[in-house]
Chains A and B, each alone.
Chain A
């Protein structure tokens, strides 16, 4: 379907390009997120690879027209595999002066600037804290191709016949902007028309207005002289198969539902709402027919405790949160660790410390995951690298948790969580079964059951209530080896601490060896983890194709590390660790391998650009 011509095919000159980065920026009430995600879907349906970066304001409803209220959505669509939403913008749409002033710096020289001139009045300048009309700057036209459109007026005219209030009519102007961008990039209107029909179908005047605004935007491009040519991004050569767009949190949710099915379990989620993790709770609560039970707890402590309770009961239990919530969960995660029950603790990292930058991204909870509990309390840590990768990561986390009877910490971040990319949809039948055995009932006169007797993986049996003859007590007090009875014996405590630690280290036997992309040995190894994958792999690709001796190891397992990591580190003269924190992985690598790496650290609430990484090599 992707190759069909747009319904309103334009006969203007078309320039073929390999990729485009577009950002739509406006007031948080202007509907930029919706516009952006529609453009993303439509581009994906047209066969492009896509990567997105929604940028939310911190306040839900910051004063209209102010810089604090600016909401942006960036998407890159391309005819090749891409891994980031793009560094510099090819096209920037600004719906008001605040959006202009906060975004213009990212538009490349020669890029296209689309402006809604109707919201460039004195009042708007005051709200945006600007002295004079920035569009008056004589240099503007020299630097960019500027397309000024009175979008509010044109939208009102387009919907006039419907006799809506101006307030409602003005709400459609994002569809006008969308229509114009669709025209500029030769996008098919049909998917969005269908979306409008589905979303607003029961309010005919709203759906009618949005449809008219969308078409008016397209037609405006078609009939005005303002744009010299439109662009065409040819479909990407992705691996064959069926695709859909997926966001990170959605993929985590689907991954968990799938892992539960693959292991014959029902899923339980205990959670307390927090940005940017709440969407997992929202998504999972829609899949009750899969046997998914979601519990919106009174706080994060109750959320994780209910999760442990459900794990004790034999469910696949998970809890989701972000840094501040994970801090509250700390004590109970330690309990989960000493109980040796399987579960997944998902942290969608955001800017910290404390409440920090709730809507922005960061990777600064790695120390918290590694060291954030009292006592000797190591736990496996796994991190997805991109939105669609969250699916596989959730399944792998459950494999580890259930095989080793241990809570697994999964570190995603706000960038992955809200970003979208095409996902090659798997066949359910091709996914591996996850084999979980619970010990069966015992006769009265059988040998006593040993709840802490370990197998070759050092895992204990998962005996669940309801099983006759396996009645046993677990708890946070130190337990005697094998019997699990409370024990204050000094030697036993040492032995148990060592055993629990050894069990975590043994997971390295299960996880795959680390792969290296690019050069396998040489001058520099880029060592990264989590959501920085896209920027790092793109930068390394460029360096390698320019003949630089660079390799890239992207870690998915942070505890334990892959068993061959030390060897890999030794194959390069220098190691560069780029992180969205002040050097947390670097410290851990140094303490583990006595290796002095070079660092690249950024804590601005924003992901790395490819250029920032590449600059380390040029």
Chain B
């Protein structure tokens, strides 16, 4: 590869297609941060692939000037697994929605994560079905009144990160559409991680679920409601950075700093912890009892599916050579007819 790669700007990662999301949709911000992140990481554009399912969020690949596939509802991780199996040289991103990944596609998400395929899964969580015009989704809060639930939904919602953790996700993170610096940083960390990376992005659907994450984005409230995780740092939050998370037995609790409680009493974030137990506890922390953590919950090294698949091919070749058709045909008992 030549060392003088032309430096690409964020705009170079945009396609010539008109972006068709509703004005004000959180997806715009994620698109912008993605272009920036790709320009910054400087990975060859022609080796970058976006694969999505179906949903508003899944229109994403059309707007990127990379290779891309807008596939079918819920199955993007499976397409990505096949592609990555034969083309480990590519950087493959999966773009999905809360319905796409957790309703119809729950099975594929689960298996891509536990196999640890080297792909980056970005879940746009707007807690609603956007494209089909506003039915509740598997992340909608119980009691949600929508077109399909006039008396309120009765389903218990899923926490995407708990699902990811339950599948032994090796890289699990969360960010927010409008928290642009944090989002950019998180996308880059996901890209840099070898193995399956899972990022949930809180995304506002201003048409069908406006303000779903207001508590986490409003100037007034966000510092009290969001805890930014940093590796090796104590878990402190609040407008005046005077609150923290402490472990009481196996239960996290919010404490106020001062009055005999110091930073050393707090939980320190360790994204490299081999057991996901603490990361799982963090994923369960929800408003209003707790601030909701963002950042990298977990980032550990684990054997990567496509690496192992291809090492088996190499090992077989070392043992048996690259394969001769004639030898393959003539294996076993043969006989001559003259």
| Chain B residues in 8 Å Cβ range of A431 | 325
A239 to chain B: closest residue by CB: B337
| Chain A residues in 8 Å Cβ range of B313 | 288-289, 291-293
The answer to whether A465 and B67 touch across the interface, beta carbons within 8 angstroms, is yes
Most buried by A among B70, B81, B83: B83
**Given A244-B334, A288-B313, A309:B81 Cβ within 8 A:** yes
Most buried by A among B45, B46, B79, B328: B79
Most buried by B among A2, A243, A305: A305
The answer to whether A473 and B82 touch across the interface, beta carbons within 8 angstroms, is no
Query: CA of A244 to CA of B327 in the docked complex: distance in angstroms?
Result: 12
Distance of A54 from chain B, by nearest CB (Å): 18
Q: A-facing mask of B49-83, CB < 8 A → 1, else 0?
A: 11100100000011011111111100101111111
| Chain A residues in 8 Å Cβ range of B324 | 428
Q: Does B108 contact A (CB under 8 A)?
A: yes
Most buried by A among B61, B66, B82, B315: B82
Distance of A413 from chain B, by nearest CB (Å): 24
Q: Does A258 contact B (CB under 8 A)?
A: yes
The answer to whether A301 and B75 touch across the interface, beta carbons within 8 angstroms, is yes
| Chain B residues in 8 Å Cβ range of A474 | 68-70
B64 to chain A: closest residue by CB: A473
**Given A475-B61, A485-B17, A289:B79 Cβ within 8 A:** no
**Given A289-B317, A425-B330, A465-B67, A307:B82 Cβ within 8 A:** yes
A298 to chain B: closest residue by CB: B111
Query: CA of A238 to CA of B337 in the docked complex: distance in angstroms?
Result: 7
| Chain A residues in 8 Å Cβ range of B317 | 288-289
Q: Return the contact of A289 from the options B45, B310, B321, B333 (Cβ within 8 A).
A: B321
**Given A244-B334, A314-B86, A425:B329 Cβ within 8 A:** yes
Distance of B109 from chain A, by nearest CB (Å): 10
Query: CA of A287 to CA of B317 in the docked complex: distance in angstroms?
Result: 10
The answer to whether B51 and A309 touch across the interface, beta carbons within 8 angstroms, is yes
The answer to whether B323 and A289 touch across the interface, beta carbons within 8 angstroms, is yes
Q: B-facing mask of A296-329, CB < 8 A → 1, else 0?
A: 0111011101111111111101000000000000
Give the interface size class of chain A.
35 or more
A257 to chain B: closest residue by CB: B328
**Given A473-B15, A475-B71, A288:B316 Cβ within 8 A:** yes
Q: Does A593 contact B (CB under 8 A)?
A: no
Q: Return the contact of A240 from the options B65, B107, B337 (Cβ within 8 A).
A: B337
| Chain A residues in 8 Å Cβ range of B17 | 485-486
| Chain A residues in 8 Å Cβ range of B261 | none
| Chain A residues in 8 Å Cβ range of B309 | 293, 295
| Chain A residues in 8 Å Cβ range of B82 | 268, 270, 295, 305-311, 313, 317
| Chain A residues in 8 Å Cβ range of B89 | 466
A467 to chain B: closest residue by CB: B46
Q: A-facing mask of B9-52, CB < 8 A → 1, else 0?
A: 00000010100000000000000000000000000111101110
Query: CA of A425 to CA of B337 in the docked complex: distance in angstroms?
Result: 11
The answer to whether B67 and A473 touch across the interface, beta carbons within 8 angstroms, is yes
The answer to whether A309 and B83 touch across the interface, beta carbons within 8 angstroms, is yes
Query: CA of A243 to CA of B335 in the docked complex: distance in angstroms?
Result: 5
The answer to whether B87 and A314 touch across the interface, beta carbons within 8 angstroms, is yes
Query: CA of A564 to CA of B335 in the docked complex: distance in angstroms?
Result: 38
**Given A290-B323, A313-B86, A314-B87, A306:B71 Cβ within 8 A:** no
A241 to chain B: closest residue by CB: B337
| Chain B residues in 8 Å Cβ range of A485 | 17
Q: Does A457 contact B (CB under 8 A)?
A: no
Q: Does A490 contact B (CB under 8 A)?
A: no
Query: CA of A309 to CA of B68 in the docked complex: distance in angstroms?
Result: 11
Q: Return the contact of A477 from the options B65, B70, B111 (Cβ within 8 A).
A: B70
| Chain A residues in 8 Å Cβ range of B72 | 305, 331-332, 335, 476
Q: Does A242 contact B (CB under 8 A)?
A: yes
Q: Does A41 contact B (CB under 8 A)?
A: yes
A290 to chain B: closest residue by CB: B323
The answer to whether B85 and A428 touch across the interface, beta carbons within 8 angstroms, is no
Most buried by B among A41, A308, A467: A308
B309 to chain A: closest residue by CB: A293
The answer to whether B325 and A244 touch across the interface, beta carbons within 8 angstroms, is no
Q: B-facing mask of A236-274, CB < 8 A → 1, else 0?
A: 001111111100000000100110010000101010000
The answer to whether A268 and B326 touch across the interface, beta carbons within 8 angstroms, is no
**Given A469-B46, A473-B61, A477-B70, A309:B329 Cβ within 8 A:** no
| Chain B residues in 8 Å Cβ range of A591 | none
Query: CA of A258 to CA of B324 in the docked complex: distance in angstroms?
Result: 10
Query: CA of A45 to CA of B335 in the docked complex: distance in angstroms?
Result: 6
Q: Does B338 contact A (CB under 8 A)?
A: yes
Distance of A26 from chain B, by nearest CB (Å): 24
Q: Does A109 contact B (CB under 8 A)?
A: no
| Chain B residues in 8 Å Cβ range of A254 | 328-329
Distance of A602 from chain B, by nearest CB (Å): 34
The answer to whether B332 and A244 touch across the interface, beta carbons within 8 angstroms, is yes
A243 to chain B: closest residue by CB: B335
Query: CA of A45 to CA of B89 in the docked complex: distance in angstroms?
Result: 47
Query: CA of A45 to CA of B84 in the docked complex: distance in angstroms?
Result: 44
Q: Does A44 contact B (CB under 8 A)?
A: yes
Q: Does B3 contact A (CB under 8 A)?
A: no
Distance of A188 from chain B, by nearest CB (Å): 11
**Given A289-B320, A289-B323, A473-B15, A44:B68 Cβ within 8 A:** no
| Chain B residues in 8 Å Cβ range of A470 | 46
| Chain A residues in 8 Å Cβ range of B45 | 471
| Chain B residues in 8 Å Cβ range of A268 | 82, 85-86
Q: Which 9 A-B pairs have the closest CB atoms?
A: A475-B70, A306-B82, A309-B82, A305-B78, A290-B323, A428-B325, A288-B316, A309-B79, A309-B83
Q: Which residue numbers of A lie inside 8 Å of B, CB to CB? A: 1-2, 41, 44-45, 47, 191, 235, 238-245, 254, 257-258, 261, 266, 268, 270, 287-293, 295, 297-299, 301-303, 305-315, 317, 331-332, 335, 339, 425-428, 431, 441, 465-477, 485-486
Known A305-B108, A465-B83; 12 more pairs at CB < 8 Å: A257-B323, A297-B78, A298-B110, A298-B111, A301-B78, A309-B51, A310-B83, A312-B83, A428-B329, A472-B68, A473-B64, A473-B67
A-B contact pairs, 13 of them (CB 8 A): A45-B333, A240-B337, A242-B336, A289-B321, A291-B323, A293-B85, A302-B107, A308-B79, A339-B69, A465-B87, A466-B46, A471-B46, A475-B61
